[in-house]
A and B are shown apart, each in its own frame.
Chain A
Amino acid sequence: MTMTDKYKLIENRALQETLYYYRVDPGMDVYVLPKPGYQKKYAIFSTRFGSIDNRFRVEPEEDFTVVPDGVAHFLEHKLFEDDRGNVFDRFASLGASANAFTSFTQTTYLFSCTANFKENLDQLLNFVQEPYFTEQTVQKEQGIISQEIKMYEDHPHWRVFFNLLEALYREHPVRNDIAGTVESIAQITPELLYRCYNTFYHPSNMAVFVVGDLIPEEVGRQVEENLANHHYQPMGSIVRLYPHEPAEITRERIAQELVVSEPIFFLGFKDIVVDKLRGRDLMRREILMELVLDIMFGSSEALYNDLYREDLIDENFGAEYTAEINYGFTMIGGETKDPDQLYQRIMEIVAHVKKEGVSTEQFERHRRKILGGYIRRFNSLEFIANNFLAYRFRGTDLFELPSILQEIRCEEALALVEENLEPARHAVSLIFPQADQ
């Protein structure tokens, strides 16, 4: 059986792009998007293993494995080293730039290159499939990651974000830093890394996305052949255990002092509906929330401009909604000289929209804005690949955005704000300048 028997085309008329999809043994999705004229080729290899996956078992096991915070990120670092040395060197000798990142829900390995694509793609596939963890290399990495953690501890916008999640969530691991803590990573051992690796790095839990001026069939075949050489056995399904998260938040207010020029204020609302939604419904909620938040807090509307004139915000003020499969939240805020005033004004507009809804004019204007912004982002190979797999991993499809955007209706806005921006489930996070800085 050859690759070409198994591919599927996914056309997007709005974007005038054609995506090639392959399903390769043992059960991995491969996507190739040809981008004629581009010099660069960009490839990512991702696993559905992020910082929140800290309790799991593999069928037919019965006992759950519980791992310390920060293991997914630690593992990401450690895959870049094996018994032949440093993986960065090997990409460098092929003229490629390699990297990786870990989020709450996934770990992604990547490279970009303008030469030697085939060799680089094999390099990417191989290093991710060849773990090498020893006591000594794990210990050295603890030093490096401790510095990374300390860097983020001094980063006010990072702190205000994680503090808010801590205030919103009581049990769910999204409340913990992705890199863990200096204490939690001290508990990591080679055995633990192998245990996670053998669970989450099976191809059936992974996917590849490649974009650039490429011939799709060749890429599909190369990935298939590479995996065949690694002789995988089928694996039972992974069962992830997330604690029951109550609707209630942990605390209404969380504050920290850091060396900053002005207070930083974020207000968050916890979403309790999102974990009942899948696929298109999840994405629909995401798009509608983005649109409604832009109407409430965007730079083309009255509130933003009033607040700016009154010197309560700067140009970085904004609102954002995140919807994952089992958690979701809205965050609104920025730097402000008067967090109490800003808080009042945000709560007022939320109450106002719940009463009055939004106008058709506003809705259509912001709809156009989202469509244009979406198209513009397709200039970036990194945007396309990273977002496509992130959407895929939560059962949604980046290419469906234009059609869902056309479907949503102005009348839905009111009910969504009513249900999702619920005062009983909001918290604030504050960073104050230190008294003696």
Chain B
Amino acid sequence: MPEDYACHYLPNGIRLIFMPTKKFKTISLGLFIHQELNRDVVALNALLPSVLEQGCRLYPDYLTIQRVLENLYGAELGTDIIKSGERHIIAFTLETAHDQYLGANGKLLQQGMAILGAVVGDPLLIDDSFNDIYVAQEKNQLIKDIKALLNDKGAYALERCLSLMCAEERFGIYKLGRVEDYGAINAARLYSYYCDLFTHNPIDLYVIGDLIEEQVLETAAEIFNFSRNGRSDTLPETEIMGTVSEVKYAEDEMNVNQSKLVLGFRTATGYKDELYCPLLVYSGVLGGFPHSKLFMKVREEAGLAYYIHSRLERHKGLMVLAAGINYSDYQKARDIIDLQIEDMASGKISDAELDNTKRGLINQLRSQQDSPNQLISSHLEGFIGGRVYTIDELSEGIEAVGREEIMAVAERIKLDTVYLLRPREGGSTENDND
């Protein structure tokens, strides 16, 4: 959210956001296609960037694209699939060093954008279909990626908790989908989906760097000129559920040394809610920082964990608390955690906790402006959430939060799901004598 940016629409309806700045050594481009998070299309969405990255009409295979990028002073093309609330974002980024550090005569914007445009908008086609081999290969890679979630126990526990918690909601879908979601996809189906997506769905193009606005606009209009509906479809908003009828409890056993505890809460407070800033402060005081209650009580005072924190899913209005503990300390840790949540609800928050959290949050907001990627992602969050906040708006909002607002938001916060990944019974690795 820089104070200074320009927003234009290209003739075909693509939204262009240009952030001029002299402080970076790079030209950063980002192209984001918005889609709803939905079981029917989750695997198609995840496959698209991976398949497109494998080759395009001009550069028909991965090796060729990589060599073109290398000759462009090691420009980096990245693809990603992002889940944000119940939005699914297909992401492409391209970053190159700025001409002025390479004596490259101002051509890198045009050349970088042309590669991005070729990969995204001018794919390799065989008989009105994507290349079968690339589609099969990337299906296989994504299925491996889904299975590999297991390798990172913290991330695995978090996904397990969210999928149990939101089993009946679109948010419960993993960003890569399930293995079985890939079965029916072939190259022709993926291509027809791609055509449909490009015609109807909102697309945002970001450009950041020491560049001239007219030139950026002209270059973008020339390169991203594929025909599409001038007006993009409106995507459904993320549904925010506030009620919890019964707290769910689930645990999995695995051959691990450390237990991973994840608590999922519903805050009933979304991005546009009047209590959004109080929610930011609530989560910050509870577990957003090393000065927060959870870190101080569970780690520094009781010595039970190395990591413990709370995080928000801002669009869905969820708060997730995660910690790595000994299984035998579970009850001890839970008791301390529950006490902190009670203290939040009753407004037992010191002036230092409140002030330090506000300062910390504002420091994070300001720091975002020093990274092109963070500038893009925080601005994109605004589009996803239906409201683009400026840094000043958010800072003032955070500044104004008092105990009453925190207690008001605390009333909405309900524990929904407790998930524990624990060492296998009778396993030899658990060590409890520390």
Give me the interface of A with B, judged by CB distance under 8 Å.
Answer: 14-16, 35-40, 81, 86, 88-89, 92-98, 112-115, 140-148, 150-151, 153-157, 182, 186, 258-262, 298-302, 305, 308-309, 311, 314-315, 335, 365-366, 368-373, 375-376, 378-381, 434, 436-437
Q: Which residue of B lies closest to A87 (CB)?
A: B290
The answer to whether B150 and A260 touch across the interface, beta carbons within 8 angstroms, is: yes
Residues of chain B with a CB closer than 8 A to A375's CB: 25-26, 73, 97-98, 101-102
Q: Closest Cβ of chain A: how far from B303's Cβ, in Å? A: 3
Chain A residues within 8 Å of B388, by CB:
none
Q: How far is the CA of A366 from the CA of B362 in the complex (A)?
A: 41
A-B contact pairs, 25 of them (CB 8 A): A15-B101, A81-B300, A88-B289, A89-B352, A92-B291, A95-B360, A95-B363, A97-B363, A98-B290, A113-B363, A115-B359, A142-B434, A147-B258, A150-B258, A154-B258, A155-B153, A186-B434, A258-B255, A305-B62, A365-B70, A371-B97, A372-B97, A375-B98, A376-B76, A379-B24
CA distance A378 to B71 in the complex (A): 20
Whether B148 pairs with A148 at a CB distance below 8 angstroms is: no
Pair A182/B355 contact, Cβ less than 8 Å: no
Residues of chain A with a CB closer than 8 A to B420's CB: none
B257 touching A153 by the CB < 8 A rule?
yes
Which residue of the partner chain A has the closest CB to B152? A155
* A141 nearest in chain B by CB position: B303
Q: Across the interface, which residues of B come within 8 angstroms of A36, CB to CB?
A: 23
Is B356 interfacial (CB-CB < 8 Å)? yes
Given contacts A114-B362, A300-B67, 8 further A-B pairs with CB under 8 A are A81-B300, A112-B367, A143-B434, A153-B429, A154-B256, A299-B66, A368-B74, A371-B74
In the assembled complex, the Cα of A320 lies from the Cα of B62 at a distance in Å of: 22
| Cα distance A309–B141 in the bound complex, in angstroms | 10
**What are the residues of chain B within 8 A of A97 when measuring CB–CB?**
289, 360, 363-364
Count of A-B contacts with CB under 8 A?
206
Pairwise interchain contact B25-A368, C-beta atoms closer than 8 A: no
- A-B pairs, top 10 by smallest CB distance, nearest first, are A372-B73, A369-B74, A143-B303, A95-B359, A37-B23, A372-B74, A300-B66, A92-B356, A92-B291, A88-B290
Cα–Cα, bound, A432→B415 (Å): 37
Q: Contact at B360–A92, with CB atoms within 8 Å? A: yes
Closest to B291 in A: A92
Q: A144-B299, A365-B67 are in contact. Are A261 and B25 (CB under 8 A)?
A: no
Asked if B408 is at the interface (CB within 8 A of a chain A CB), the reply is no
In the complex, which residue of chain B has the Cβ closest to the Cβ of A179? B306
Name the distance in Å between A432's Cβ and chain B's nearest Cβ.
12
Q: What distance in Å separates the Cβ of A393 from its nearest Cβ neighbour in chain B?
A: 25
Among A35, A140, A315, A376, chain B packs the most CB atoms within 10 A around the CB of A376
Cβ–Cβ contact A40 & B370, under 8 A: yes
Q: Which chain B residues border A314 with CB–CB below 8 Å?
A: 141, 144-145
Judged by a CB distance under 8 angstroms, whether B304 is at the interface is yes
User: Which chain B residues in 111-155 approach chain A with CB under 8 Å?
Assistant: 137, 140-141, 144-145, 147-154
What chain B residues lie within 8 Å of A437 (beta carbons)?
Answer: 254-255
* Cβ B63 vs Cβ A302 within 8 A: yes
Q: Which residues of A contact B69 (CB under 8 A)?
A: 300
A25 CB, min distance to chain B CBs, angstroms: 33
Q: Considering residues A40, A147, A153, which has the most beta carbons from chain B within 10 angstroms of its beta carbon?
A: A147
Which of chain B's residues 33-85 have a Cβ closer than 8 Å to chain A?
61-63, 66-67, 69-76
Report A431 CB to chain B, min CB distance, Å: 9
Tell me if B188 is interfacial: C-beta within 8 Å of chain A.
Answer: no
With A and B bound together, what is the CA distance between A315 and B141 in angstroms?
A: 9
The secondary-structure label for the interface of chain A is mixed
B254-287, CB under 8 A of A: which get 1 and which 0? 1111100000000000000000000000000000
**B372 nearest in chain A by CB position:** A379
Known interface pairs A40-B366, A93-B355, A299-B62; A259-B74 also in contact (CB < 8 Å): no
A93 pairs with B356, CB closer than 8 A: yes
Query: Interface on B for A, CB 8 Å cutoff?
Result: 21-26, 61-63, 66-67, 69-76, 95-98, 100-102, 137, 140-141, 144-145, 147-154, 254-258, 289-291, 295-296, 299-300, 303-307, 324-326, 352, 355-357, 359-360, 362-364, 366-367, 369-372, 429, 431, 434
CB of A278 to closest CB in B, whole Å: 29
Bound together, the chains give a CA A435 to CA B67 distance in angstroms of 41
- Taken together as a complex, chains A and B put the C-alpha atoms of A35 and B69 apart, in Å, by 28
Q: Are A260 and B151 in contact (CB under 8 A)?
A: yes
How far is B97's CA from A370's CA once the two chains are assembled, in angstroms?
A: 11
Q: Write out the residue numbers on chain A whose beta carbons fall within 8 Å of the beta carbon of B150.
A: 259-261
Closest to B68 in A: A300
Could you say which residues of chain A place their CB within 8 Å of the CB of B304? 143, 147
B352 contact set on A, CB distance < 8 A: 89, 92-93
Which residue of the partner chain A has the closest CB to B367?
A: A40
Q: Is the CB of B325 within 8 A of A154?
A: no
Residues of B within 8 A of A37 (CB): 21-23
Closest chain B residue, CB of each to CB of A186: B434
Cα separation A299 to B372 with both chains bound (whole Å): 25
A182–B360 contact, CB under 8 A?
no
**Chain B hits for A335, CB < 8 A:** 144, 148
Assuming A86-B296, A144-B305, A299-B62, is B290 touching A92 (CB within 8 A)?
yes
User: Once bound together, how far apart are the Cα atoms of A122 and B76, in whole Å?
Assistant: 39
Contact of A261 among B95, B147, B300 (CB under 8 A): B147
Q: Determine if A146 and B151 form an interchain contact, defined as CB atoms under 8 angstroms apart.
A: no
Known contacts A182-B431, A437-B255: A96-B371 contact under CB 8 Å: no
* Distance from A242 Cβ to chain B, minimum over Cβ atoms (Å): 29
Contact B296 A372 (CB under 8 A): no
Contact A147 B324, beta carbon cutoff 8 Å: yes
The 8 Å CB contact of A95, one of B96, B144, B362, is: B362
Contacts of A186 in B (CB 8 A): 434
CA distance A371 to B364 in the complex (A): 31
**Known: A92-B289, A95-B363, A259-B256. Contact between A379 and B303, CB under 8 A?**
no
CB distance from B1 to the nearest CB of A (A): 12
- List the B side residues contacting A305 at CB < 8 Å: 61-63
A154–B102 contact, CB under 8 A? no
- In the bound assembly, the distance between CA atoms of A89 and B148 in angstroms comes to 38
Q: Which residue of B lies closest to A402 (CB)?
A: B101
Are B289 and A147 within 8 A (Cβ)? no
Name the residue on B nearest A257 (C-beta). B255
Interchain CA distance A436-B97 in the complex, whole Å: 49
Which residues does chain B contribute within 8 Å of A434, judged by CB atoms?
255
Asked whether A372 lies within 8 Å of B96 as measured between CB atoms, the reply is yes
Separation of A157 and B73 alpha carbons in the complex (Å): 30
CB closest residue in chain B, given A98: B290
B144 adjacent to A154 (CB under 8 Å): no
In the complex the two chains form, what is the Cα distance from A99 to B386 in whole Å? 35
Write out the residue numbers on chain B whose beta carbons fall within 8 Å of the beta carbon of A15.
25, 101
Name the residue in A81, A154, A434 with the highest tally of chain B Cβ atoms < 10 Å from its Cβ.
Answer: A154
- Complex interface: chain B residues within 8 A of A157 (CB): 151
Whether B101 lies near A16 (C-beta < 8 A) is yes
Contact: A372 with B102, CB < 8 Å?
yes
B363 engages A96 (CB within 8 Å) = yes
State in angstroms the CA–CA spacing of A367 and B7 once bound together.
Answer: 37
CB distance from A41 to the nearest CB of B (A): 10
- B-side contacts of A366, CB under 8 Å: 70
A368 contacts which chain B residues (CB < 8 A)?
70-71, 73-74
Alpha-carbon distance between A305 and B53 when the two chains are bound, in angstroms = 13
> In angstroms, how far is the closest chain A Cβ from the Cβ of B149?
8
Q: How far is the CB of B81 from chain A (nearest CB, A)?
A: 13
Measured in the bound complex, the distance between the Cα atoms of B62 and A302 in whole Å is 10
Contact B63 A154 (CB under 8 A): no
CB of A89 within 8 A of CB of B100, answer: no
| Nearest Cβ on chain A to B153's Cβ, whole angstroms | 5
Q: For residue A150, which residues in chain B have a CB less than 8 angstroms away from its CB?
A: 257-258, 324, 326, 431
- What residues on B are CB-neighbors of A95 within 8 Å? 356, 359-360, 362-363
